[in-house]
Amino acid sequence: MAKVTFNTDICKGCGLCVSVCPKHILVIAADRINKKGHSPAVITDQEACIGCASCAIMCPDCVITVER
């Protein structure tokens, strides 16, 4: 099982990771604001993650870590 973690303090909520997730388990959090004033990306179902790392590759700020 893969584990995805986000450094939500530096995420700018651009949504690029959300757009490339093949399982559609990433969303921009509507109920959370980080230190920079952005709504960060979060994973909704860790168990469903296949560990493809498309999200981490797409992230321009290196916010996402994928462990297999």
CATH number of the domain at 34, please. 3.30.70.20
With a cut of 50, list the residues of the chain below it in pLDDT.
none
- Look at the pTM and tell me if it is higher than 0.95: no
Query: According to the model, what pLDDT value does residue 6 have?
Result: 96
Residue with tokens 């959090």: 29
How confident is the model at residue 19, as a pLDDT? 98
Per-residue confidence (pLDDT) for residue 34, from 0 to 100: 95
Number of domains comprising the chain: 1
Per the structure, the complete domain to which residue 57 belongs is given by 3-67
Q: What is the DSSP string of 13-39?
A: ---HHHHH-TT--EEE-SS---TTS-P
Position 57 scores a pLDDT of: 98
User: What whole-number distance in Å separates Cα of residue 40 and Cα of residue 4?
Assistant: 14
